[in-house]
Amino acid sequence: MGMDRAVLYEALRSHDSRFDGKFFVGVRSTGIYCRPVCRVRLPKEENCTFFPTAAEAERAGYRPCLKCRPELAPGNSLLEASGDLAASAAAMIEASCGNDERLAELAHRLGCTDRHLRRVFEAEFHVTPLQYRQTCRLLLAKNLLTDTDLSVLDVAMASGFGSLRRFNAVFEQAYHLTPTGLRRQYRAAGRPVGRITVEIGYRPPYEWERMLEFLAARAIRGVETVRDGAYLRTVRIRDASGWLRVENRPEHSALAVTLSESLLRVLPQTLSRVRHMFDTASDPQQIAEALADMRRLDARLPVCGLRIPGCFDPFETSARAVLGQQITVSAATTLAGRISEAYGRRVETGIEGLTHTFPTAEEVLEMGGTVEERFGALGVIAARSRTISELAKLFASDRPERALHPETLLAIRGVGPWTASYISMRALGNPDAFLAGDLGVKKALAPRTAKEMEALAEAWRPWRSYAVLNLWTL
């Protein structure tokens, strides 16, 4: 973790939200592990053991605290992890903990051997990939047991255990409590239980209104909308489809995600995409401190709490970025809406304005006739249609992750530096993408030349994406 015990204990004493999710503390006298923001009585320092992950705390035999709820802790960004390969594997495990993906398959997606991945993962997290996945499943199940009224069987299936018997056995072995026993305790403590709404924690502050403004301006008709302080969209992951709603609960430092029951089969993947889209793993205080030099440009900068507006579907966002080249945001949004209505799949949501999903890469490639003909009839020029077709080929490959890397994108005709950087920022969550050619950035940094802007931005590494967001506020 790169910090000594005195620093960690002081963070625990002060309930410092900057450290939330960056470490967990196991208390030997109780056998419980907590987040550093936990408000229970402060344990003695000699009774504390500090762990970088919940998985390591559980491997050591500690059970999660029912008050601070470790399953709600915000995650760590890939940039904060010392091993990019291990961090990428952890993110994939969290996103697919409901699947029984073999380690060899995961390693193939990451371009390495399963032996190498296991070695790197254990060196980084001190647990095996399988142990890490089991902790992810247990914490997701705990979240569903306490925050929803789903049946225990539904919870077992949604969190990836495959059978009720296996779920009960693993849960009781790990937590010395049955799933029904945990739910009974939580309800007895007066906790609200209701619809399928799951919370995702973040480190405050969160500039929620600015996030919604950005998403509302680019919302694809029929696919997504912003209303009443919340973001809503249709969802299709593999053969599951439905809808979700995301709203802010600042009093909990969490986003509340309400979703249709039809998405329970892909709940881990859905929540992972929401975390990415709303950048819940970032540390706003750390970023603001790193960008303090921006005050020289404007006293209002940096704005603490800005988040990278990520994406829910990488292909959808990449295609939308290509559509937006050299035209207004409104015009690009209109074209994307036409494509979704013409070639997306209808979804019955019961929510006004949510009617379709955006077509997948495979569906774009399988359309009758050429993409230029199909999209051309909707007003998309041939050059951009061909570029979207090339993007679709990459996303439909056996390793779609490579489609998002800037060097891969730049090899596609019609994708320039701005488009590659924009896709990298939103689809990859790259914290260090600088959009030197962006009109908003040029306006904020005028009258500097492109070379002068690039030189100025060097001081903002590795948070240049957040610097761009700050410049957009001017």
User: Tens of pLDDT along 52-62?
Assistant: 999 999 999 99
Poorest-pLDDT segment among 71-80, 197-206, 299-308: 71-80
Instruction: Name the DSSP class of 460.
Output: G
**Which residue numbers are catalytic?**
34, 438
Cα 5 to Cα 8: distance, rounded to the nearest angstrom? 5
From-to residues of CATH 3.30.310.20 in the chain: 200-472
Beta carbons of 290 and 460 less than 8 angstroms apart: yes
Q: Report, as an integer, the average pLDDT of 198-207.
A: 95
For 379-399, the DSSP string reads: T--HHHHHHHHHHHHHHTSS-
Enter the pTM of the model.
0.88
Q: How many CB atoms lie within 10 A of CB 305?
A: 19
Question: pLDDT band at residue 400, thresholds of 50, 70 and 90?
Answer: low
Question: What pLDDT shows up at residue 434?
Answer: 95
Three-state DSSP at 120 gives helix
Report whether pLDDT(193) > 90.
no
From-to residues of CATH 3.40.10.10 in the chain: 5-72
Report whether pLDDT(112) > 90.
no
The tokens of 399 are what?
A: 């390793």
Question: What pLDDT shows up at residue 132?
Answer: 93
Poorest-pLDDT segment among 86-90, 114-118, 233-237, 296-300: 86-90
Beta carbons of 295 and 303 less than 8 angstroms apart: no
Helices and strands: H and E segment counts in the chain:
22, 9
Question: pLDDT band at residue 454, thresholds of 50, 70 and 90?
Answer: very high
Question: What pLDDT shows up at residue 431?
Answer: 93
Q: What is the CA radius of gyration of the chain?
A: 23
Question: What pLDDT shows up at residue 194?
Answer: 43
Cα 150 to Cα 145: distance, rounded to the nearest angstrom? 7
Instruction: Name the DSSP class of 35.
Output: -
Q: What is the pLDDT of residues 4-35, one digit of tens each?
A: 899 999 999 999 888 899 899 999 999 999 99
Question: pLDDT band at residue 241, thresholds of 50, 70 and 90?
Answer: very high
Report whether pLDDT(157) > 50.
yes
Q: Phi and psi (nearest 5°) for 298?
A: -160, 135
Question: What pLDDT shows up at residue 75?
Answer: 82
Beta carbons of 434 and 421 less than 8 angstroms apart: yes
Question: pLDDT band at residue 79, thresholds of 50, 70 and 90?
Answer: very low
Under CATH, which architecture does the 5-72 domain have?
A: 3-Layer(aba) Sandwich (3.40)
Class (C level, CATH) for 78-193: mainly alpha
C-alpha 46: how far from its chain's center?
A: 36
Under CATH, which architecture does the 200-472 domain have?
A: 2-Layer Sandwich (3.30)
Report whether pLDDT(407) > 90.
no
- Cis status of the peptide bond prior to 302, with omega within 30 of 0: yes
Report whether pLDDT(82) > 50.
no
Looking up tokens 């800037």 gives 406
Question: pLDDT band at residue 238, thresholds of 50, 70 and 90?
Answer: confident
Q: Report, as an integer, the average pLDDT of 214-233.
A: 97
Q: Report, as an integer, the average pLDDT of 41-66.
A: 94
Specify which residues 247 forms β-bridges with: 230, 256
pLDDT, averaged across the chain:
91
Question: What pLDDT shows up at residue 195?
Answer: 57
Question: pLDDT band at residue 80, thresholds of 50, 70 and 90?
Answer: very low
Q: What is the pLDDT of residues 351-365, one digit of tens each?
A: 999 999 999 999 999
Question: What pLDDT shows up at residue 94?
Answer: 86
Report whether pLDDT(452) > 60.
yes
Q: Report, as an integer, the average pLDDT of 110-132.
A: 91
Three-state DSSP at 270 gives helix
Question: pLDDT band at residue 328, thresholds of 50, 70 and 90?
Answer: very high
Report whether pLDDT(188) > 60.
no
Q: Report, as an integer, the average pLDDT of 435-453.
A: 94
Cα 170 to Cα 162: distance, rounded to the nearest angstrom? 12
Q: How many CB atoms lie within 10 A of CB 364?
A: 24
Q: Which residue has the higher pLDDT, 326 or 246?
A: 246
Q: Report, as an integer, the average pLDDT of 122-132.
A: 92
Question: What pLDDT shows up at residue 4?
Answer: 85
From-to residues of CATH 1.10.10.60 in the chain: 78-193
Q: What is the pLDDT of residues 95-106, one digit of tens each?
A: 878 677 788 888
